[in-house]
Amino acid sequence: MAHSIRDDDGVSNPSHNLNLDQVVEQAIAAQPSRRRLLLGGLGVATLPFLTGLAGCGSDDEPAPAAAAAEKMLGFTAVGISMADAVVVPAGYVASAFLPWGEPISPTAPAWKADASNTAADQEQQVGDNHDGMWFFPFNAAGNALGDRSDEGLLVMNHEYINPEYFYAIEAATPADDWMAPFTLEKARKAQAAHGVGVYHVKRHADGAWQHVKASPYNRRIHGNTPMSLQGPAAGHALMKTAADPSGTEVLGTLNNCANGWTPWGTYLTCEENWNGYFGAPTSGATIAAGFQDQKADIIGGQSRYGITKEGFGYRWHTVDPRFDADVNPNEPHRFGWVVEIDPFAPASKPVKRTALGRIKHENAEMVIAPNGKVVVYMGDDERNEYIYKFVSSGTFDKANPTSAANRRLLESGTLYVARFDAGATTGDAMGTGVWIPLVQGSNGLTAANGFASQADVLIKCRQAADRVGATMMDRPEWIAANPKKAGEVYITLTNNSRRGGSPASSNNADGTTSAGGARPPVDEANPRSNNVWGHILRWNEAGGDGTALTFTWDIFVMAGQPGITDARKPSANINAGNLFNSPDGLAFDSFGRLWIQTDGSYANTGDFANMGNNQMLAADPATKEIRRFLVGPSGCEITGVTWTPDRKTMFINVQHPGEIGSHPNRPKNADGSTLTDNQIARNATAFSQWPNKGERPRSATVVVRRTDGGVIGG
Ligand code: FEO
Ligand code: CA
Ligand code: CA
């Protein structure tokens, strides 16, 4: 998530031979007792996939003795921090890794501390604003997916850029505008810093991790990398552009927020605030010739998805016509998708999976239902948006995880959107819910209402969800499925400044409400007016089955200030020692510990007093105890988390240290006046010098380990 140039989170305005099956089969034959471990090694976290799969779950063999000693929350909580540093519990160490600008190969250009690297340089360097991430362990041969904890591919999203730190001040830069003169080269450099990075990483005997630069797997996928459009929306008229009359190939993936991963060894990257890169200077009034017959869909979509005259201020549309939505009005339809990438095949072309719908995607959490269908849970991160799930048409072949058939499971299926009802009692923070199918021809999704095909439903996904009466949520962020309880799923609802606003309004059924424009009244699942702190909700699918059409739900935690006793009061699992706001990143480790990451206010005053810098906490799903584990440096958010299969290394990301935005603790001049953006851009170390003292701040991964070599958190 992001804040950005003005709140990027939209608040304002060789081959495929993974041989996984062979790995598992050989291991079982050699040493049956290791079966459980190996299955976990498909990403340890593979366990969510397996819940409910008879014979493949985690309960068919006795747990190893070592696991019995592992505690759910076995670390000493850390206090809040306002330091420009990463703080971890006693007995843990944290070190920065793979910062923005690091060369990805032995021949890539070095990072320049004055930010004067070119666009061509940036295409060969680590991207900016690290976000969602997954560790794909190598096999013994080091050439395919396996279960090793000492070497693999760390794949991560690079969500956006902070222009104030991203561009060098040039001789031609005017005194009052650090981004000027804005050129195509600057836009290209920014585009090159977006997308995804595949980084070959290896652990040494002393426990330290190294980026293996001389590796064919290191790869940058960025804002101009060719990728395929696949699924029901591919080739639709609304996907066709002058540059791509077939509507099947698009350049780039943008605003890659959170992520997912599959048991067939691919990475899923999710396009979130892509709207902010487009500008529509005439708001569609002068839409390009050739698109007049699509005008209603184009202009309606610009409003519903938040495409404005000037975008978020990145200026790309002023130099790169692809991002001028008046000139190329269908280009925005080619963003907002989940993109599948095979990290083990460096020459493979990423694929945008349109069957999963076009929204502002946060993450894509996959589970495998008892009947073998693949279920993908997804949130649309904007105020008053919805929660979705995709259920595949085909079924997962668990005997052959990396089969060609499994690799096609995201091509077709049914998309659903959630409605949260109050249940038998109102006011008890629990209720019932329904998954409503978004299928053309049903529930009012008819040609007369603008949905002539399933492609229309998927491209205009928000409008389709408006039509069927989905529940407007407080900004749906990450979704995490409990690996120890089939069908139990958690979501962070980060905050909502418009909840309970006046006059009350809801998203119109005809899809005409502008992005974030409604002021929905409080409801059972979103019970706090002006929800500045956010909450975490969980649901249990009927029968523990991810394909169920009904569920029950309850609120796991309402964040907030425990001293408050009015309607805004937090839930009982909040206490003086674990205050936080704006939960965002959310993931289970394979032990069943829930990790919570924040992207909120670090003002540490008023509503946010005693919350400090953004942080990471761990929670016990059974007792609801929440304990603070890590605090980030100044101005950052903590996001993205993944583990080695043995869980002895945890990787997290520190995004946008030194973010200036509009936060109240933005740095001040000696006379008390607030530094302008321009001043900060000209003194790039003003607010944070993380991770390298004396340099401009850089987003980076953080490697977390225990000094005794134990499992993280236990
Ligand atoms: Fe990129 Fe909703 O966080
Ligand atoms: Ca996020
Ligand atoms: Ca209720």
Collapsing DSSP to helix, strand or coil, 74 comes out as coil
Supply the pLDDT for residue 16. Answer: 26
End-to-end CA distance of the chain: 28
Supply the pLDDT for residue 118. Answer: 98
> Ligand 1 centre from 88 Cα, in Å?
24
- CA of 257, closest atom in ligand 1: 1
Q: Which ligand is nearest to the CA of 426?
A: 3
* Distance from C-alpha of 386 to C-alpha of 358, rounded to nearest angstrom: 12
Supply the pLDDT for residue 666. Answer: 76
Collapsing DSSP to helix, strand or coil, 616 comes out as strand
- CA of 475, closest atom in ligand 1: 2
For residue range 114-138, list pLDDT tens digits in order: 999 999 999 999 999 999 999 999 9
Task: Evaluate the CA torsion angle 50, 52, 56, 61 in order and state its sign.
Answer: positive
Supply the pLDDT for residue 667. Answer: 80
| Contact indicator for 273, 160 with CB cutoff of 8 Å | yes
> Ligand 3 centre from 552 Cα, in Å?
10
> Ligand 1 centre from 256 Cα, in Å?
9
Supply the pLDDT for residue 41. Answer: 29
3-state secondary structure 129-171: CEEEEEEEEECCCCCCECCCCCEEEEEEEECCCCHHHHCCCCC
* Distance from C-alpha of 628 to C-alpha of 638, rounded to nearest angstrom: 13
> Ligand 2 centre from 636 Cα, in Å?
12
Question: Could you state, in chain order, the average pLDDT of each consecutive group of 10 residues for the chain (714 residues)?
Answer: 43 28 32 29 35 33 56 98 97 98 98 97 98 98 96 98 94 92 98 99 95 98 98 98 98 98 98 98 86 95 97 97 97 98 98 99 98 98 98 97 97 99 97 98 98 98 98 98 98 98 98 98 98 98 98 98 94 98 98 98 95 98 98 97 98 94 75 88 88 96 97 98
- CA of 599, closest atom in ligand 1: 3
**Which residue ranges have their beta carbon within 6 Å of ligand 1?**
1-2, 9, 159, 257, 272, 362, 381, 477, 584
Q: Which residue is closest in CA terms to ligand 1's atom 2? A: 1
Supply the pLDDT for residue 30. Answer: 32
* Distance from C-alpha of 555 to C-alpha of 228, rounded to nearest angstrom: 39
Collapsing DSSP to helix, strand or coil, 302 comes out as helix
| Contact indicator for 529, 500 with CB cutoff of 8 Å | yes
Question: Residues within 5 Å of ion ligand 2 by Cβ?
Answer: 1, 584
- CA of 255, closest atom in ligand 1: 1
Dihedrals φ, ψ of 26, to 5°?
Answer: -65, -40
Q: Which residue is closest in CA terms to ligand 1's atom 3? A: 1
> Ligand 3 centre from 528 Cα, in Å?
14
Supply the pLDDT for residue 485. Answer: 98
Q: Which residue is closest in CA terms to ligand 1's atom 1? A: 1
* Distance from C-alpha of 259 to C-alpha of 274, rounded to nearest angstrom: 15
> Ligand 3 centre from 70 Cα, in Å?
35
> Ligand 3 centre from 419 Cα, in Å?
13
| pTM reported for the whole predicted model | 0.92
- CA of 360, closest atom in ligand 1: 2
Alpha carbon separation from 478 to 272, 368, 617, 641 (Å, rounded): 12, 18, 15, 12
